[in-house]
Amino acid sequence: MARAATGTETGPRIIPRPEHNVSRAQISKNALKVLYRLRDAGYQAFLVGGGVRDLLLGREPKDFDIATDAHPEDVRRLFRNCRLIGRRFRLAHVYFGRDIVEVATFRSSEDELAPDESLLVKDDEGRILRDNRYGEIGEDVWRRDFTANSLYYNIADFSIWDYTGGVEDIRAGVMRLIGEPEDRYREDPVRLLRAVRFAAKLGFRIESSSESPVRELGFLLESVPPARLFDEVLKLFLGGYAVASYELLRHYGHFGQLFPAVDALLDSEAGEPYRALLLEALQNTDRRVADDEPVTPVFLFSVLLWGPVCRRAAQLQERGESPVQALLLAADEVGDEQQRHVAIPRRITTPMKEMMVLQLRLQKTRGRRVLGMLGHPRFRAAYDLLCLRAQVGDADPALAEFWTRLQTLDEDARVAEVDPGGRRKSTDKAAAEGEAAPDAERPPRSRRRRRPRRRKPTGSTD
């Protein structure tokens, strides 16, 4: 039997193939290629982490990670399609087209003295900055975060190795940190978000001793690079469990660490209708993921920042800025402040601002230029945002109905809808009455060709 997550080390509980439901048929062919080649080369090779957890739960894993006693350089020698990455943790990525199989070398226990102290670097708060000390599987397991993620599937005999009681915790629906919770959160503050993400994704509860420091240690997220938090936000909100993640983040106070301006607005009297808009957008995102429809970070961040941008734009309009200019300036100001917490790449912020400006332009429903909106590359996303805003009272429902109806009409009907007194209508009326239409085609005038004038010779007189 495995030890408790904070006890002293013993051997693993080895669960033979007949006693678990994980099958090679459920593992990707590329992951199996890597596992078999490592095994055939004389190395230990295990499927590890969330892939084993999800297979035990009857879920389809998003990716398959591998742990081995082969060092990164050994993995690169075995696979020509391999690239070594990472400074904090040295990893090998084996490429199969767009599919990437991640291979990590067993890490040594923190209690073991490293021959080279430079291989383990921590900051003053205990956060691990670099750790490339290699060890054995019995040490590696204690460097993982949660018991549910610390299971190893052995390709040699298809057994599962469980050192921490992870199988029992999965059956009980519990997320439990391995080791002393506060120390583990300080080593890597992103574990605070991972605890929330796994609890939301799996429907698990966070075990009491692992949960108690979660709220009070939220300030540690300030030391995490904003670019890394961007990746975590995408995992939290675009994985199909956005609503549950949002509610847990708000419960533990971490949403304010990620989006302080949004959090402050949601807690204010002016928070409606933005609270309803955000919740409706997250519910819509979860539905789209469940239906295997695409979701984009552009739409997500547009909704998240819409409230603070609108409030700031209103202030700028009071100072004399035009509505469009005020919205653009507000989006820049709010976006610049947000970058200090979650770094949003320009490939997202640029179309995000376009979506926001289109909310103003979609208010116009008359004139030929209105039809040009239908061909705008951001129209569909802007239209979806408009419809969500109309549902929660942040926009005129009649406006959303207009754009919904306009998309169903043919070209002539669209022209009549947006330009009822326009040129085409008057042209058709004139033609019906037998009169010449103002813009009707007329035969070109025949022009007589003039003969060139004879030029007088230089110096000649009359």
| Residue-level pLDDT at 462 | 38
Place of tokens 């390709």: 155
**Measured distance CA(263)–CA(271) in Å, rounded:** 9
The mean-pLDDT minimum among 114-123, 206-215, 361-370 falls in 114-123
Beta carbons of 30 and 101 less than 8 angstroms apart: yes
| Residue-level pLDDT at 124 | 54
**Residue scoring higher pLDDT (2 or 388):** 388
Using 50, 70 and 90 to split pLDDT, how confident is the model at 120?
low
Helices (H), 42-116: 50-56, 72-78
Give the pLDDT confidence of 203-242 residue by residue, as tens digits. 999 999 999 999 999 999 999 999 999 999 999 999 999 9
| Residue-level pLDDT at 87 | 74
| Residue-level pLDDT at 459 | 46
- 3-state helix vs strand vs coil in the chain, percent to 5: 50, 10, 40
Helices (H), 259-407: 260-266, 274-290, 297-318, 323-338, 346-361, 369-372, 379-391, 397-406
Please pick, among 54, 65, 69, 162, the residue that the annotation labels catalytic. 65
Please pick, among 63, 74, 332, 419, the residue that the annotation labels catalytic. 63
| Residue-level pLDDT at 301 | 97
Is residue 145 part of the annotated active site? The answer reads: yes
> How much is the average pLDDT of 240-262?
97
| Residue-level pLDDT at 110 | 58
DSSP 8-state secondary structure symbol assigned to residue 57: T
Is pLDDT at 443 greater than 70 in this prediction?
no
DSSP 8-state secondary structure symbol assigned to residue 267: T
Locate the domains of the chain by residue range: 13-176
**Measured distance CA(162)–CA(261) in Å, rounded:** 43
| Residue-level pLDDT at 115 | 47
Please pick, among 54, 69, 140, 145, the residue that the annotation labels catalytic. 145
Is pLDDT at 2 greater than 60 in this prediction?
no
**Residue scoring higher pLDDT (248 or 112):** 248
> How much is the average pLDDT of 273-285?
96
| Residue-level pLDDT at 176 | 98
131 backbone dihedrals φ, ψ, rounded to 5°: -155, 95
Is residue 65 part of the annotated active site? The answer reads: yes
Beta carbons of 128 and 188 less than 8 angstroms apart: yes
| Residue-level pLDDT at 419 | 86
Give the pLDDT confidence of 29-64 residue by residue, as tens digits. 999 999 999 999 999 999 999 999 999 999 999 899
Residue 273: asked if its preceding bond is cis (omega within 30°), the reply is yes
Question: How many Cα atoms are found within 13 Å in the side-chain-facing hemisphere of 231?
Answer: 6
| Residue-level pLDDT at 11 | 87
The mean-pLDDT minimum among 102-106, 114-118, 343-347 falls in 114-118
Report the percentage of the chain scoring pLDDT > 90: 79
Beta carbons of 5 and 179 less than 8 angstroms apart: yes
Domain 13-176, CATH among 3.40.1280.10, 3.30.930.10, 3.40.50.300, 3.30.460.10: 3.30.460.10
